[in-house]
Structure 1
Protein backbone atom coordinates (compact mmCIF):
# COMPACT_ATOMS: atom_id res chain seq x y z
CA UNK A 1 0.00 0.00 0.00
CA UNK A 2 1.58 3.27 -1.15
CA UNK A 3 0.87 6.01 1.35
CA UNK A 4 1.55 9.72 1.40
CA UNK A 5 1.62 10.70 5.06
CA UNK A 6 -0.27 13.78 6.17
CA UNK A 7 -0.10 15.35 9.64
CA UNK A 8 -1.34 12.98 12.34
CA UNK A 9 -3.70 15.62 13.70
CA UNK A 10 -6.26 15.32 10.88
CA UNK A 11 -9.68 14.58 12.35
CA UNK A 12 -13.27 14.08 11.23
CA UNK A 13 -16.12 14.44 13.73
CA UNK A 14 -13.41 14.36 16.38
CA UNK A 15 -11.94 11.00 15.29
CA UNK A 16 -8.25 11.14 14.46
CA UNK A 17 -7.29 9.64 11.11
CA UNK A 18 -4.50 7.09 10.85
CA UNK A 19 -1.66 8.57 8.72
CA UNK A 20 -0.91 5.05 7.51
CA UNK A 21 -4.34 4.95 5.85
CA UNK A 22 -3.98 8.20 3.95
CA UNK A 23 -3.30 8.92 0.28
CA UNK A 24 -3.45 11.84 -2.13
CA UNK A 25 -6.14 12.41 -4.75
CA UNK A 26 -4.71 12.26 -8.26
CA UNK A 27 -5.66 15.07 -10.67
CA UNK A 28 -6.73 14.19 -14.19
CA UNK A 29 -3.67 14.60 -16.44
CA UNK A 30 -3.87 17.43 -18.96
CA UNK A 31 -3.66 14.90 -21.79
CA UNK A 32 -6.97 13.33 -20.67
CA UNK A 33 -8.96 16.46 -19.89
CA UNK A 34 -10.50 16.61 -23.39
CA UNK A 35 -10.75 12.84 -23.91
CA UNK A 36 -14.26 11.77 -22.88
CA UNK A 37 -13.50 8.06 -23.19
CA UNK A 38 -10.41 8.38 -21.01
CA UNK A 39 -12.42 10.28 -18.39
CA UNK A 40 -15.12 7.62 -18.22
CA UNK A 41 -12.49 4.90 -17.90
CA UNK A 42 -10.76 6.84 -15.13
CA UNK A 43 -14.10 7.41 -13.36
CA UNK A 44 -14.94 3.71 -13.57
CA UNK A 45 -11.51 2.79 -12.25
CA UNK A 46 -11.06 5.39 -9.49
CA UNK A 47 -14.61 6.52 -8.70
CA UNK A 48 -13.68 10.19 -9.03
CA UNK A 49 -12.28 12.86 -11.33
CA UNK A 50 -10.19 15.62 -9.76
CA UNK A 51 -10.30 18.58 -12.17
CA UNK A 52 -8.11 21.44 -10.93
CA UNK A 53 -9.01 24.84 -12.37
CA UNK A 54 -12.15 23.73 -14.22
CA UNK A 55 -13.92 26.93 -13.09
CA UNK A 56 -12.77 30.53 -13.27
CA UNK A 57 -11.21 31.34 -9.91
CA UNK A 58 -12.54 34.92 -9.87
CA UNK A 59 -16.11 33.73 -10.46
CA UNK A 60 -15.84 31.26 -7.59
CA UNK A 61 -14.51 33.93 -5.26
CA UNK A 62 -17.24 36.33 -6.37
CA UNK A 63 -19.87 33.82 -5.27
CA UNK A 64 -18.00 33.28 -1.99
CA UNK A 65 -18.11 37.04 -1.40
CA UNK A 66 -21.84 37.11 -2.18
CA UNK A 67 -22.54 34.19 0.17
CA UNK A 68 -20.78 35.60 3.21
CA UNK A 69 -22.17 39.08 2.55
CA UNK A 70 -25.68 37.58 2.62
CA UNK A 71 -24.95 35.92 5.97
CA UNK A 72 -23.23 38.92 7.54
CA UNK A 73 -26.16 40.00 9.74
CA UNK A 74 -26.40 36.49 11.17
CA UNK A 75 -22.96 36.95 12.73
CA UNK A 76 -21.25 34.16 10.83
CA UNK A 77 -18.20 36.16 9.77
CA UNK A 78 -16.01 38.87 11.23
CA UNK A 79 -17.51 42.17 10.00
CA UNK A 80 -14.10 43.87 10.10
CA UNK A 81 -12.74 41.51 7.41
CA UNK A 82 -13.69 41.43 3.73
CA UNK A 83 -16.57 38.94 3.26
CA UNK A 84 -14.62 37.01 0.61
CA UNK A 85 -12.07 36.08 3.28
CA UNK A 86 -14.75 34.30 5.32
CA UNK A 87 -13.09 34.82 8.67
CA UNK A 88 -15.13 33.35 11.50
CA UNK A 89 -16.75 35.87 13.84
CA UNK A 90 -15.85 33.86 16.91
CA UNK A 91 -19.24 34.57 18.46
CA UNK A 92 -22.65 32.87 18.57
CA UNK A 93 -24.63 32.90 15.33
CA UNK A 94 -28.17 34.25 15.11
CA UNK A 95 -29.84 31.05 13.93
CA UNK A 96 -33.05 32.75 12.82
CA UNK A 97 -31.21 35.21 10.60
CA UNK A 98 -28.91 32.49 9.32
CA UNK A 99 -31.80 30.30 8.24
CA UNK A 100 -33.62 33.20 6.60
CA UNK A 101 -30.54 34.30 4.67
CA UNK A 102 -29.63 30.78 3.59
CA UNK A 103 -33.01 29.24 2.76
CA UNK A 104 -35.02 32.31 1.75
CA UNK A 105 -32.35 34.28 -0.11
CA UNK A 106 -29.23 32.39 -1.15
CA UNK A 107 -30.42 28.87 -1.99
CA UNK A 108 -33.39 29.89 -4.20
CA UNK A 109 -31.66 33.02 -5.50
CA UNK A 110 -30.54 33.80 -9.06
CA UNK A 111 -26.88 34.11 -8.02
CA UNK A 112 -26.71 30.49 -6.89
CA UNK A 113 -28.68 29.30 -9.92
CA UNK A 114 -26.27 31.14 -12.23
CA UNK A 115 -23.27 29.66 -10.45
CA UNK A 116 -24.55 26.08 -10.70
CA UNK A 117 -25.47 26.45 -14.38
CA UNK A 118 -22.46 28.46 -15.54
CA UNK A 119 -21.15 27.31 -18.94
CA UNK A 120 -18.01 25.78 -17.42
CA UNK A 121 -20.27 23.32 -15.56
CA UNK A 122 -23.31 23.01 -17.82
CA UNK A 123 -21.29 22.57 -20.99
CA UNK A 124 -18.85 20.16 -19.33
CA UNK A 125 -21.61 17.85 -18.13
CA UNK A 126 -23.39 18.07 -21.48
CA UNK A 127 -20.15 17.08 -23.17
CA UNK A 128 -19.39 14.34 -20.63
CA UNK A 129 -22.84 12.73 -20.86
CA UNK A 130 -23.01 13.42 -24.60
CA UNK A 131 -26.72 14.03 -24.18
CA UNK A 132 -29.33 16.50 -22.95
CA UNK A 133 -28.68 17.02 -19.24
CA UNK A 134 -30.65 17.74 -16.08
CA UNK A 135 -29.48 19.53 -12.92
CA UNK A 136 -31.16 18.50 -9.68
CA UNK A 137 -32.90 21.41 -7.97
CA UNK A 138 -31.81 20.30 -4.50
CA UNK A 139 -28.26 21.70 -4.23
CA UNK A 140 -26.42 21.97 -0.95
CA UNK A 141 -24.19 24.72 0.45
CA UNK A 142 -22.07 23.85 3.46
CA UNK A 143 -20.06 26.20 5.65
CA UNK A 144 -18.04 24.89 8.56
CA UNK A 145 -16.61 27.00 11.34
CA UNK A 146 -13.01 26.44 12.45
CA UNK A 147 -12.64 24.60 15.71
CA UNK A 148 -15.94 22.72 15.46
CA UNK A 149 -15.28 19.11 16.41
CA UNK A 150 -17.47 16.24 17.46
CA UNK A 151 -20.22 14.06 16.03
CA UNK A 152 -22.25 15.97 13.46
CA UNK A 153 -19.79 18.78 12.78
CA UNK A 154 -18.29 17.18 9.66
CA UNK A 155 -19.92 15.15 6.89
CA UNK A 156 -20.10 11.52 7.92
CA UNK A 157 -19.11 8.65 5.63
CA UNK A 158 -21.77 7.89 3.02
CA UNK A 159 -22.33 7.46 -0.69
CA UNK A 160 -24.84 9.59 -2.55
CA UNK A 161 -27.11 6.93 -3.97
CA UNK A 162 -28.30 6.08 -0.46
CA UNK A 163 -30.16 9.41 -0.61
CA UNK A 164 -31.09 9.23 -4.32
CA UNK A 165 -32.74 5.83 -4.62
CA UNK A 166 -35.84 7.02 -6.47
CA UNK A 167 -33.98 7.89 -9.67
CA UNK A 168 -31.17 6.66 -11.86
CA UNK A 169 -27.76 5.60 -10.67
CA UNK A 170 -26.30 7.12 -13.84
CA UNK A 171 -25.73 10.50 -12.27
CA UNK A 172 -22.59 12.38 -11.30
CA UNK A 173 -22.00 14.50 -8.24
CA UNK A 174 -19.86 17.62 -8.33
CA UNK A 175 -18.25 18.84 -5.12
CA UNK A 176 -17.02 22.40 -5.56
CA UNK A 177 -14.81 24.25 -3.05
CA UNK A 178 -16.04 27.83 -2.83
CA UNK A 179 -12.68 29.29 -1.97
CA UNK A 180 -9.35 27.67 -1.16
CA UNK A 181 -9.76 24.63 1.10
CA UNK A 182 -6.36 23.35 2.19
CA UNK A 183 -6.41 20.08 4.05
CA UNK A 184 -6.55 21.73 7.49
CA UNK A 185 -9.72 23.62 6.48
CA UNK A 186 -11.73 20.41 6.21
CA UNK A 187 -12.26 19.39 2.56
CA UNK A 188 -14.07 16.34 1.24
CA UNK A 189 -12.13 13.07 1.34
CA UNK A 190 -12.82 9.75 -0.40
CA UNK A 191 -12.46 6.15 0.72
CA UNK A 192 -10.36 4.59 -2.01
CA UNK A 193 -12.04 2.14 -4.36
CA UNK A 194 -15.36 1.94 -2.51
CA UNK A 195 -17.44 2.72 -5.61
CA UNK A 196 -16.70 -0.87 -6.64
CA UNK A 197 -18.00 -2.23 -3.31
CA UNK A 198 -21.49 -0.79 -3.69
CA UNK A 199 -22.02 -0.80 -7.46
CA UNK A 200 -24.70 -3.43 -8.07
CA UNK A 201 -25.04 -4.27 -4.37
CA UNK A 202 -28.83 -3.88 -4.43
CA UNK A 203 -29.12 -6.20 -7.44
CA UNK A 204 -27.00 -8.74 -5.55
CA UNK A 205 -29.48 -8.62 -2.67
CA UNK A 206 -27.04 -6.99 -0.26
CA UNK A 207 -28.38 -4.69 2.44
CA UNK A 208 -27.57 -1.03 1.81
CA UNK A 209 -27.06 1.51 4.58
CA UNK A 210 -30.22 3.54 5.20
CA UNK A 211 -28.31 6.76 5.85
CA UNK A 212 -24.73 7.75 6.59
CA UNK A 213 -22.52 4.81 7.49
CA UNK A 214 -20.50 6.19 10.36
CA UNK A 215 -18.72 9.21 11.81
CA UNK A 216 -15.80 6.95 12.75
CA UNK A 217 -13.69 7.27 9.60
CA UNK A 218 -10.60 5.51 11.00
CA UNK A 219 -12.66 2.43 11.90
CA UNK A 220 -14.27 2.32 8.45
CA UNK A 221 -10.87 2.52 6.74
CA UNK A 222 -9.62 -0.29 8.96
CA UNK A 223 -12.70 -2.42 8.32
CA UNK A 224 -12.43 -2.07 4.55
CA UNK A 225 -8.62 -2.05 4.48
CA UNK A 226 -8.65 1.12 2.39
CA UNK A 227 -7.10 4.59 2.49
CA UNK A 228 -8.83 7.93 2.78
CA UNK A 229 -7.81 10.17 -0.13
CA UNK A 230 -7.64 13.95 0.02
CA UNK A 231 -5.67 16.99 -1.07
CA UNK A 232 -5.40 20.77 -0.83
CA UNK A 233 -8.08 22.41 -2.99
CA UNK A 234 -8.10 25.85 -4.59
CA UNK A 235 -10.99 27.99 -5.76
CA UNK A 236 -11.76 26.83 -9.30
CA UNK A 237 -11.15 23.13 -8.64
CA UNK A 238 -13.99 20.63 -9.07
CA UNK A 239 -14.37 17.06 -7.86
CA UNK A 240 -16.65 14.75 -9.83
CA UNK A 241 -17.55 11.46 -8.19
CA UNK A 242 -19.57 8.31 -8.69
CA UNK A 243 -22.82 8.07 -6.70
CA UNK A 244 -21.38 4.86 -5.21
CA UNK A 245 -18.12 6.43 -3.97
CA UNK A 246 -17.89 6.67 -0.18
CA UNK A 247 -16.84 10.11 0.99
CA UNK A 248 -16.85 12.29 4.10
CA UNK A 249 -15.19 15.50 5.26
CA UNK A 250 -12.48 16.50 7.67
CA UNK A 251 -12.91 18.85 10.59
CA UNK A 252 -12.04 22.49 9.99
CA UNK A 253 -8.89 23.14 11.99
CA UNK A 254 -7.81 26.24 10.06
CA UNK A 255 -5.23 28.16 12.15
CA UNK A 256 -6.32 31.50 10.69
CA UNK A 257 -9.98 31.12 11.62
CA UNK A 258 -11.29 30.83 8.04
CA UNK A 259 -14.61 29.17 7.30
CA UNK A 260 -14.76 26.26 4.88
CA UNK A 261 -17.42 26.82 2.20
CA UNK A 262 -18.43 24.36 -0.53
CA UNK A 263 -21.37 23.25 -2.62
CA UNK A 264 -22.42 19.89 -4.01
CA UNK A 265 -24.67 19.55 -7.04
CA UNK A 266 -25.78 16.66 -9.24
CA UNK A 267 -26.21 16.31 -12.98
CA UNK A 268 -27.67 13.44 -15.01
CA UNK A 269 -29.11 12.70 -18.44
CA UNK A 270 -32.55 14.27 -18.79
CA UNK A 271 -34.00 11.08 -20.24
CA UNK A 272 -33.07 8.90 -17.24
CA UNK A 273 -35.38 8.45 -14.20
CA UNK A 274 -35.25 11.49 -11.89
CA UNK A 275 -35.61 11.29 -8.11
CA UNK A 276 -38.66 13.51 -7.56
CA UNK A 277 -37.66 14.17 -3.92
CA UNK A 278 -34.66 16.17 -5.14
CA UNK A 279 -36.68 18.59 -7.23
CA UNK A 280 -37.27 21.12 -4.45
CA UNK A 281 -34.79 23.64 -3.11
CA UNK A 282 -32.56 22.33 -0.36
CA UNK A 283 -33.71 22.95 3.20
CA UNK A 284 -32.29 21.48 6.41
CA UNK A 285 -35.79 20.24 7.28
CA UNK A 286 -36.56 18.56 3.97
CA UNK A 287 -36.02 15.11 5.47
CA UNK A 288 -33.33 14.04 3.01
Structure 2
Protein backbone atom coordinates (compact mmCIF):
# COMPACT_ATOMS: atom_id res chain seq x y z
CA UNK A 1 0.00 0.00 0.00
CA UNK A 2 2.78 2.43 0.90
CA UNK A 3 4.60 1.82 -2.39
CA UNK A 4 1.76 1.64 -4.93
CA UNK A 5 -1.09 3.37 -3.11
CA UNK A 6 -3.54 0.49 -3.53
CA UNK A 7 -4.26 -3.17 -2.75
CA UNK A 8 -6.26 -5.23 -5.24
CA UNK A 9 -7.92 -8.49 -4.20
CA UNK A 10 -9.65 -10.87 -6.59
CA UNK A 11 -12.69 -12.70 -5.17
CA UNK A 12 -12.16 -11.50 -1.60
CA UNK A 13 -15.91 -11.43 -0.89
CA UNK A 14 -18.37 -14.24 -1.56
CA UNK A 15 -19.91 -13.69 -5.00
CA UNK A 16 -23.42 -14.56 -3.85
CA UNK A 17 -23.24 -11.89 -1.15
CA UNK A 18 -22.35 -9.30 -3.80
CA UNK A 19 -25.16 -10.40 -6.12
CA UNK A 20 -27.66 -10.26 -3.27
CA UNK A 21 -26.76 -6.60 -2.72
CA UNK A 22 -26.96 -6.00 -6.47
CA UNK A 23 -30.50 -7.36 -6.67
CA UNK A 24 -31.56 -5.37 -3.61
CA UNK A 25 -30.37 -2.10 -5.16
CA UNK A 26 -31.44 -2.72 -8.77
CA UNK A 27 -34.98 -3.60 -7.74
CA UNK A 28 -35.22 -0.11 -6.25
CA UNK A 29 -33.93 1.48 -9.47
CA UNK A 30 -36.49 -0.58 -11.40
CA UNK A 31 -39.29 0.75 -9.17
CA UNK A 32 -38.48 4.34 -10.19
CA UNK A 33 -38.08 3.41 -13.86
CA UNK A 34 -34.33 3.91 -14.25
CA UNK A 35 -33.78 0.33 -15.44
CA UNK A 36 -35.93 -2.02 -17.47
CA UNK A 37 -37.25 -4.78 -15.23
CA UNK A 38 -39.94 -5.99 -17.63
CA UNK A 39 -38.29 -6.82 -20.97
CA UNK A 40 -34.94 -7.59 -19.32
CA UNK A 41 -33.79 -9.25 -16.11
CA UNK A 42 -33.38 -6.65 -13.37
CA UNK A 43 -29.88 -8.00 -12.72
CA UNK A 44 -28.82 -6.95 -16.24
CA UNK A 45 -29.31 -3.26 -15.28
CA UNK A 46 -30.41 -2.16 -18.75
CA UNK A 47 -31.29 1.54 -18.90
CA UNK A 48 -34.97 2.24 -19.47
CA UNK A 49 -36.04 5.01 -21.84
CA UNK A 50 -38.86 6.25 -19.60
CA UNK A 51 -37.99 7.08 -15.97
CA UNK A 52 -40.12 8.17 -13.01
CA UNK A 53 -37.14 9.42 -10.99
CA UNK A 54 -38.30 13.06 -10.96
CA UNK A 55 -41.56 12.10 -9.22
CA UNK A 56 -40.19 10.31 -6.14
CA UNK A 57 -38.78 11.37 -2.77
CA UNK A 58 -35.09 11.02 -3.58
CA UNK A 59 -34.03 11.62 0.02
CA UNK A 60 -35.93 8.49 1.05
CA UNK A 61 -34.88 6.59 -2.09
CA UNK A 62 -31.13 7.15 -1.69
CA UNK A 63 -31.30 6.45 2.03
CA UNK A 64 -33.11 3.17 1.36
CA UNK A 65 -30.21 2.07 -0.83
CA UNK A 66 -27.51 3.01 1.68
CA UNK A 67 -29.44 1.38 4.54
CA UNK A 68 -30.35 -1.79 2.64
CA UNK A 69 -29.50 -4.88 4.68
CA UNK A 70 -27.70 -6.69 1.85
CA UNK A 71 -25.71 -3.58 0.90
CA UNK A 72 -24.65 -2.92 4.50
CA UNK A 73 -23.69 -6.59 4.84
CA UNK A 74 -21.48 -6.22 1.77
CA UNK A 75 -19.68 -3.05 2.89
CA UNK A 76 -19.06 -4.51 6.36
CA UNK A 77 -17.99 -7.96 5.14
CA UNK A 78 -15.78 -9.68 7.73
CA UNK A 79 -12.98 -10.45 5.24
CA UNK A 80 -12.92 -6.83 4.03
CA UNK A 81 -12.90 -5.49 7.59
CA UNK A 82 -10.12 -7.97 8.35
CA UNK A 83 -7.96 -6.47 5.61
CA UNK A 84 -8.24 -3.05 7.21
CA UNK A 85 -7.65 -4.38 10.72
CA UNK A 86 -4.36 -5.86 9.52
CA UNK A 87 -3.48 -2.73 7.57
CA UNK A 88 -4.30 -0.25 10.34
CA UNK A 89 -3.46 -2.40 13.36
CA UNK A 90 -6.73 -2.38 15.29
CA UNK A 91 -10.54 -2.46 15.19
CA UNK A 92 -11.93 -0.49 12.26
CA UNK A 93 -15.21 1.05 11.20
CA UNK A 94 -16.72 2.26 7.96
CA UNK A 95 -18.40 5.64 7.62
CA UNK A 96 -22.17 5.60 8.19
CA UNK A 97 -22.61 7.39 4.87
CA UNK A 98 -21.76 5.24 1.87
CA UNK A 99 -21.51 6.14 -1.79
CA UNK A 100 -23.31 3.64 -4.07
CA UNK A 101 -22.87 4.71 -7.69
CA UNK A 102 -25.36 3.96 -10.44
CA UNK A 103 -23.64 5.04 -13.66
CA UNK A 104 -25.71 5.20 -16.82
CA UNK A 105 -24.32 4.79 -20.36
CA UNK A 106 -22.41 7.92 -21.34
CA UNK A 107 -21.56 8.89 -17.75
CA UNK A 108 -18.26 8.83 -15.88
CA UNK A 109 -16.41 10.44 -12.96
CA UNK A 110 -13.73 13.14 -13.21
CA UNK A 111 -10.18 12.95 -11.91
CA UNK A 112 -9.79 13.60 -8.18
CA UNK A 113 -8.44 12.45 -4.81
CA UNK A 114 -10.87 11.41 -2.08
CA UNK A 115 -9.22 13.05 0.90
CA UNK A 116 -10.58 16.51 0.03
CA UNK A 117 -14.06 15.12 0.77
CA UNK A 118 -13.29 13.22 3.99
CA UNK A 119 -10.66 15.34 5.72
CA UNK A 120 -12.68 16.54 8.72
CA UNK A 121 -11.82 13.72 11.13
CA UNK A 122 -9.22 10.96 11.07
CA UNK A 123 -6.22 11.49 8.79
CA UNK A 124 -5.68 7.75 8.32
CA UNK A 125 -8.68 7.04 6.08
CA UNK A 126 -8.90 4.56 3.19
CA UNK A 127 -11.29 4.08 0.29
CA UNK A 128 -12.67 0.77 -0.94
CA UNK A 129 -14.14 0.48 -4.43
CA UNK A 130 -16.53 -2.45 -4.73
CA UNK A 131 -17.98 -3.62 -8.05
CA UNK A 132 -21.55 -4.69 -7.23
CA UNK A 133 -21.62 -7.26 -10.01
CA UNK A 134 -19.26 -7.87 -12.91
CA UNK A 135 -17.92 -4.69 -14.58
CA UNK A 136 -16.53 -4.96 -18.10
CA UNK A 137 -14.01 -2.46 -19.44
CA UNK A 138 -16.63 -0.84 -21.68
CA UNK A 139 -18.91 -0.23 -18.68
CA UNK A 140 -16.63 2.38 -17.14
CA UNK A 141 -14.60 0.88 -14.27
CA UNK A 142 -12.33 2.86 -11.97
CA UNK A 143 -8.89 3.99 -13.19
CA UNK A 144 -5.98 4.73 -10.84
CA UNK A 145 -2.92 6.86 -11.57
CA UNK A 146 -0.02 4.74 -10.40
CA UNK A 147 1.91 6.04 -7.35
CA UNK A 148 0.18 9.44 -7.57
CA UNK A 149 -0.32 9.42 -3.77
CA UNK A 150 3.39 10.37 -3.56
CA UNK A 151 3.22 13.39 -5.88
CA UNK A 152 4.41 16.28 -3.72
CA UNK A 153 2.99 19.01 -5.98
CA UNK A 154 -0.53 17.87 -5.02
CA UNK A 155 -0.02 18.68 -1.33
CA UNK A 156 -1.85 22.00 -1.68
CA UNK A 157 -4.84 20.23 -3.28
CA UNK A 158 -4.81 17.50 -0.62
CA UNK A 159 -4.78 20.15 2.10
CA UNK A 160 -8.12 21.59 0.99
CA UNK A 161 -11.66 20.66 2.01
CA UNK A 162 -14.22 20.27 -0.77
CA UNK A 163 -16.98 22.02 1.21
CA UNK A 164 -15.01 24.84 2.81
CA UNK A 165 -12.68 25.57 -0.11
CA UNK A 166 -15.09 24.81 -2.96
CA UNK A 167 -12.78 22.41 -4.77
CA UNK A 168 -13.63 19.16 -6.53
CA UNK A 169 -12.29 17.36 -9.56
CA UNK A 170 -8.72 18.04 -10.59
CA UNK A 171 -9.47 17.64 -14.26
CA UNK A 172 -11.33 15.72 -16.94
CA UNK A 173 -8.18 15.43 -19.06
CA UNK A 174 -6.41 12.14 -18.19
CA UNK A 175 -3.54 12.70 -20.61
CA UNK A 176 -2.81 16.16 -19.22
CA UNK A 177 -2.86 14.93 -15.63
CA UNK A 178 -0.62 11.99 -16.51
CA UNK A 179 1.92 14.30 -18.17
CA UNK A 180 1.97 16.51 -15.08
CA UNK A 181 2.23 13.70 -12.50
CA UNK A 182 3.74 10.74 -14.35
CA UNK A 183 2.88 7.10 -13.84
CA UNK A 184 0.46 4.84 -15.68
CA UNK A 185 -3.31 4.83 -15.66
CA UNK A 186 -4.32 1.39 -14.33
CA UNK A 187 -7.61 -0.45 -14.60
CA UNK A 188 -9.10 -3.89 -15.17
CA UNK A 189 -12.29 -5.74 -15.87
CA UNK A 190 -13.80 -6.65 -12.49
CA UNK A 191 -15.93 -9.48 -11.18
CA UNK A 192 -18.38 -9.65 -8.29
CA UNK A 193 -16.27 -10.30 -5.20
CA UNK A 194 -13.24 -8.24 -6.28
CA UNK A 195 -12.14 -5.47 -3.91
CA UNK A 196 -9.90 -2.46 -4.54
CA UNK A 197 -8.55 -0.60 -1.48
CA UNK A 198 -6.56 2.60 -1.91
CA UNK A 199 -4.98 5.64 -0.28
CA UNK A 200 -7.40 8.60 -0.23
CA UNK A 201 -4.66 10.73 -1.82
CA UNK A 202 -4.37 8.44 -4.85
CA UNK A 203 -5.53 10.20 -8.03
CA UNK A 204 -8.31 8.28 -9.74
CA UNK A 205 -11.43 8.58 -11.88
CA UNK A 206 -13.71 6.29 -13.84
CA UNK A 207 -13.88 5.57 -17.52
CA UNK A 208 -17.07 6.63 -19.28
CA UNK A 209 -19.68 3.90 -19.46
CA UNK A 210 -19.74 2.86 -23.13
CA UNK A 211 -21.82 -0.28 -22.76
CA UNK A 212 -23.01 -1.39 -26.22
CA UNK A 213 -26.18 -2.86 -24.68
CA UNK A 214 -27.05 0.14 -22.45
CA UNK A 215 -26.07 -1.59 -19.21
CA UNK A 216 -25.73 0.68 -16.16
CA UNK A 217 -22.66 0.20 -13.97
CA UNK A 218 -23.29 -0.40 -10.25
CA UNK A 219 -20.40 0.06 -7.82
CA UNK A 220 -19.78 1.38 -4.32
CA UNK A 221 -17.27 3.66 -2.60
CA UNK A 222 -16.87 3.27 1.16
CA UNK A 223 -14.35 4.73 3.60
CA UNK A 224 -12.66 2.92 6.49
CA UNK A 225 -10.69 4.09 9.52
CA UNK A 226 -9.62 3.00 12.97
CA UNK A 227 -12.66 2.93 15.24
CA UNK A 228 -10.71 4.87 17.88
CA UNK A 229 -9.81 7.79 15.56
CA UNK A 230 -11.73 11.07 15.30
CA UNK A 231 -14.75 11.05 12.97
CA UNK A 232 -15.64 13.45 10.19
CA UNK A 233 -19.13 14.12 11.55
CA UNK A 234 -20.54 15.02 8.13
CA UNK A 235 -20.58 11.33 7.29
CA UNK A 236 -22.04 9.89 10.48
CA UNK A 237 -25.36 9.61 12.33
CA UNK A 238 -27.66 9.61 9.30
CA UNK A 239 -26.88 13.21 8.40
CA UNK A 240 -27.32 14.76 4.97
CA UNK A 241 -23.88 16.37 4.73
CA UNK A 242 -24.39 18.78 1.83
CA UNK A 243 -27.01 21.44 2.20
CA UNK A 244 -29.26 19.81 4.79
CA UNK A 245 -32.40 18.43 3.15
CA UNK A 246 -31.88 20.34 -0.11
CA UNK A 247 -29.45 17.97 -1.90
CA UNK A 248 -29.03 14.23 -2.36
CA UNK A 249 -26.11 12.18 -3.65
CA UNK A 250 -27.22 11.11 -7.11
CA UNK A 251 -24.40 10.86 -9.69
CA UNK A 252 -24.90 11.54 -13.39
CA UNK A 253 -28.11 12.37 -15.29
CA UNK A 254 -26.63 15.31 -17.23
CA UNK A 255 -27.46 13.77 -20.60
CA UNK A 256 -31.00 12.91 -19.52
CA UNK A 257 -31.86 16.54 -18.79
CA UNK A 258 -29.73 18.03 -21.57
CA UNK A 259 -27.64 20.15 -19.22
CA UNK A 260 -23.96 19.55 -18.42
CA UNK A 261 -24.30 21.42 -15.11
CA UNK A 262 -26.48 18.58 -13.87
CA UNK A 263 -23.45 16.26 -13.83
CA UNK A 264 -22.69 17.49 -10.29
CA UNK A 265 -23.12 14.44 -8.05
CA UNK A 266 -25.15 16.26 -5.37
CA UNK A 267 -28.56 17.03 -6.87
CA UNK A 268 -30.96 19.72 -5.62
CA UNK A 269 -34.38 18.60 -4.40
CA UNK A 270 -37.51 20.46 -3.30
CA UNK A 271 -39.24 20.35 0.09
CA UNK A 272 -40.80 16.98 -0.83
CA UNK A 273 -37.49 15.45 -1.85
CA UNK A 274 -38.28 15.61 -5.57
CA UNK A 275 -35.60 16.29 -8.14
CA UNK A 276 -35.18 19.88 -9.26
CA UNK A 277 -34.07 19.86 -12.88
CA UNK A 278 -32.06 22.74 -14.33
CA UNK A 279 -33.70 24.15 -17.42
CA UNK A 280 -32.02 23.35 -20.75
CA UNK A 281 -30.70 26.91 -20.79
CA UNK A 282 -29.10 26.30 -17.42
CA UNK A 283 -30.21 29.62 -15.92
CA UNK A 284 -32.65 28.42 -13.25
CA UNK A 285 -33.90 25.34 -11.46
CA UNK A 286 -37.34 23.94 -12.05
CA UNK A 287 -39.26 21.41 -9.99
CA UNK A 288 -40.62 18.62 -12.16
> TM-score, normalised on structure 1?
0.75
Match of 1:16 in 2: none
Match of 1:128 in 2: 87
Match of 2:115 in 1: 161
- Unpaired runs of 5+ residues, structure 2, are 250-265, 267-288
Q: CA deviation at 1:200?
A: 9.0
**Within-5 A mapping of 1:1-288:** 43-79=1-37, 80-97=39-56, 99=58, 102-146=61-105, 148=106, 153-198=107-152, 201=155, 208=160, 210-281=167-238, 285=247
Query: 3-state DSSP class of the match of 1:45?
Result: coil
- Unpaired runs of 5+ residues, structure 1, are 1-42
Q: CA deviation at 1:109?
A: 3.1
* Change in 2 beyond 3 A, CA 1:286/1:252: closer
List per-residue Cα deviations over 1:213-255 (Å, max 9, x = no partner): 1122222122223321111111110000001101100110011
Query: 3-state DSSP class of the match of 1:106?
Result: helix
Distance in 2, Cα, partners of 1:233 & 1:96: 34
Query: 3-state DSSP class of the match of 2:171?
Result: coil
Distance in 2, Cα, partners of 1:236 & 1:124: 14
Q: CA deviation at 1:280?
A: 4.3
Paired residues in the alignment total 239
Judge conservation of contact 1:88–1:258 (CA < 8 Å) in 2.
Answer: yes
Distance in 2, Cα, partners of 1:250 & 1:280: 32
* Change in 2 beyond 3 A, CA 1:113/1:207: closer
* Change in 2 beyond 3 A, CA 1:206/1:117: closer
Alpha-carbon RMSD: 2.5
Q: CA deviation at 1:94?
A: 2.3
Match of 2:282 in 1: none
> TM-score, normalised on structure 2?
0.75
Judge conservation of contact 1:62–1:84 (CA < 8 Å) in 2.
Answer: no
* Change in 2 beyond 3 A, CA 1:239/1:282: farther
Q: CA deviation at 1:182?
A: 1.2
Distance in 2, Cα, partners of 1:96 & 1:111: 26
Judge conservation of contact 1:170–1:268 (CA < 8 Å) in 2.
Answer: yes
Which 10-residue stretch deviates more, 54-63 or 98-107?
A: 98-107
Which 10-residue stretch deviates more, 76-85 or 192-201?
A: 192-201
* Change in 2 beyond 3 A, CA 1:206/1:112: closer
Match of 1:34 in 2: none
Of structures 1 and 2, the one with the larger relative CO (CA 8 A, separation 6+) is 1
Distance in 1, Cα, partners of 2:235 & 2:60: 21
